[in-house]
Amino acid sequence: MLSPEAFEEEYDAETLAAELPASPVASLRDLQYLYGKLYTLATAGGGDYAPYLTPDAANDLVDTEDSLIVVRVDLSGDDPRLADDERGPVWVTRYTDDRVATVAHCKYPAARGIDHSVTHQAGRNSDPEKLARYATERLTKWADDDEVRDVAEGHEQGWIVDALRELGERDDALDDVESGVKRELGGESATALLTVQVRLDADGDYRWPGDLDVFMAAMRRRKLSKLVTKNEADDSSGDAVDLVTGEAARTVGTSEDPQNYYLGKQLETFPGLDIEEAWRTHPVSEDAAVTLMNAEAFVEACTYRTFGAKVYYLPYFFGTPTPAETYELYGMLYRAANEDEMTPIELAYDERHLTADAADDLRFYVSAVMPHQMSRYDVFGETLNGRLLYPRELAFEHNRVTETSAFAAADEWSAPLPTNENWGLLAANDEMLRSVSTGWYFHQTFAERDDTDADADDPRIEALVDVLSGDAVSVDVLLAEYVERLVADEDDDDVERFPSFRVASQFAQLCALATDDLDLLSTDDPGKVPITRDPSYETHIMTPRDDNPLAIADGGDAAAAKLETFIDETPALAHDEDAPINDERRGAFLLGALVGEVGSYQGYSEDRSTTLIDQFPVKSITRARVKKVTQETVAKTLTYTRGEDRTITLFEHVVDRLRETILRPDPDDWEIDTDDLRFYYALGVTYGMNDHPEWDSAQTDTDDE
């Protein structure tokens, strides 16, 4: 495959423009055709037969010992015979770069059968007996193939194929080929291509298959024959307008597809499909069909697996392809196929392959495919309008969120929520774009599933495709997934404490998705609309003024101000006359905050192994239990306050707000749904566990003070 530099040198702008489609990419087929064109130009070059060749199929054989076995046939006399010169009837040599085009290999990707071309690729480390048989089959099985014979009958060079077949009917000739192969290999096994050379004139050279049109035409016919007989069709072909090029041509209906979208077995996709008439439903010309097949290398390079599905993220430039954009695109595809383990999103973000001006014109085809048995596939989340903007900006916004006042401490007092450099979503990092583009972003926050038994309804896949294509993720789905993951964490014996880092990661994700410029959250529930709004946390944390000193550990100005600010800057918690459900959500959050405060106090001050956090896990919180849990938690707070002879109620900044919120309206009349209630309760627990000053610099509460 040509390097990007060699590709641009080989095909100047004028030459490349003549090869490119004259219409914009408007469908997946258009995009596959463009990819197939680029792959063909980069590997087999131009010409009528180039799309049919598979020059990369034997790449691993290039310049290796005994990698090319040649049966040499002399047709310069009256009767065909094997070569009798100094090189002999069988020549074992190296398959080199300069022989790739002339050997003209066309692989048939099947466990059994011979390759489409007269050149055949043997299996790895084949023994001499098997290689000898393959060598003779160049004169027997291939030359006697129905499609090959049919081509020979109407081709001016058809006599060459007839002569090979005639030679293959002679036992002495076949014996000479077999013994020649074994002798030249010295009894050793080899991995090789097997082909023929033919001399037509007594004073001429021996010519390779690529130099003889009849061999190339026969190869083309054999490959095309598979496109009209797949899935037991007799002849799924007919004259129609090619849906790719828009030209009238002989079209085929059962051609292969790099993404397995158009299969004869996919009857649910094409109800009532008659395979014989498939060319009417999905007409693709013969040459276009083969070009589409050639797209596979680049398509697979822009594919990655996650959650048991294959995600396709195929870049292209909006509008009719131009040479300048195509050079840029080929560079990305080449790197994806040959150099990098990056996703296409990361490659596009790389400045070496994407200029600032090109960013707005770059588009991506995005889909996820869930494979099943019996060659059936579910396709969902398909769009041609994916843009680098969405995953790139989401990664940027998530990093930004982790550095706002919600996560970054203001001097001696802790931030509302914890951070941890070992948790990918709790610290700004250069890997965030990869996290988003590979699906790891949702793997860390959504409920875990067995990927070996994944299905098309997997919310992680739906969320990933939504983000890649710029569609909004459902808040309702997010909350359900978040809570299920938290409950599983709490039930996990390997998790020793409340999963506060998980909650903080989920909330950071929620905030990033809600960013105004992205608008990646949606809901049909009016009560959840505030959750979809962008929080207004400060990006730069300011040092507290000298006239507003930090408060004492049991609550005071700093703790109360921090709580007040966090609530006011969080749209889902702030008072909103248009969203009365916020009051209930705020009540759940404050209840969680007090449970977190008291539970942490029990741990560090009372040295208790079981705390209120353990006593009231997320899965235990329901509307029916909110009042009871509140009463018990407040009572426990007052008990500890009296036991330490404190002048100020422990965690007064939370208790006072909770008393107000929990009564308006009474929890018995709440309407908030369970997932909403539980997530914001968990967020509150996380807040409470993290609500403390830096103990070394904090003052303590005493009767004297």
pLDDT of residue 553: 41
pLDDT of residue 449: 87
- DSSP 3-state percent helix, strand, coil across the chain (nearest 5): 45, 10, 45
**Closest Cα partner for 58 from 99, 5, 12, 111?**
99
Between 338 and 259, whose confidence is greater? 338
pLDDT tens digits, 169-187 = 999 999 999 999 999 999 8
Q: What is the mean pLDDT of residues 672-688?
A: 96
Place of tokens 């059962």: 254
Distance CA 553, CA 600 (A): 13
Q: Is the pLDDT of residue 699 over 50?
A: no
**Closest Cα partner for 81 from 212, 247, 199, 218?**
199
Q: Give the count of alpha carbons within 13 A of 638, CB side only.
A: 8
Contact call for residues 416 and 404 (beta carbons, < 8 A): no
Q: Is 369 helix (H, G, I), strand (E, B) or coil?
A: strand
Q: What is the pairing mode between strands 68-74 and 193-199?
A: parallel
Distance CA 194, CA 132 (A): 9
Q: Is the pLDDT of residue 202 over 60?
A: yes
pLDDT tens digits, 377-405 = 677 777 888 877 788 899 999 999 999 99
DSSP state of 249: E
Maximum CA extent, the chain: 122
The Cα-based distances of 347 to 107, 398, 541 in angstroms read 30, 20, 34
pLDDT of residue 201: 92
Q: What is the distance, to the nearest Å, from the Cα of residue 206 to the centroid of all Cα atoms in its chain?
A: 48
pLDDT of residue 208: 97
Q: Which of 114-118, 411-415, 503-507 has the highest mean pLDDT?
A: 503-507
Distance CA 253, CA 532 (A): 46
Mean pLDDT of the chain: 85
Instruction: Find the range with the poorest average confidence among 162-171, 181-190, 452-461, 597-606.
Output: 452-461
Q: Is 509 helix (H, G, I), strand (E, B) or coil?
A: helix
The burial of 5, by beta-carbon neighbours within 10 Å (0-12 exposed, 13-18 middle, 19 or more buried), is given as exposed
- Nearest 10 degrees: Cα torsion 434, 437, 440, 446: 150
The pTM assigned to this predicted structure is 0.80
Q: Is the pLDDT of residue 42 over 70?
A: yes
Residues facing residue 371 across a β-bridge: 377
DSSP state of 86: T
Tokens encoding 684:
């509150």
The residue count of the chain comes to 705
Residues facing residue 240 across a β-bridge: 249
Distance CA 312, CA 326 (A): 20
Query: H or E stretch including 226?
Result: helix 213-228
pLDDT of residue 446: 95
How many CB atoms are closer than 10 A to CB 422?
7
- Sorted by where each begins, the domain ranges of the chain are 1-43+243-387, 59-219, 409-705
Instruction: Find the range with the poorest average confidence among 8-22, 336-350, 559-573.
Output: 336-350
> Across the chain, how many H-helices and E-strands are there?
26, 15
Q: Which pLDDT band holds residue 552 (cuts at 50, 70, 90)? A: very low
Percent of all residues in the chain with a pLDDT value above 70, rounded to a whole number: 85
Distance CA 114, CA 61 (A): 18
Place of tokens 């090029």: 245
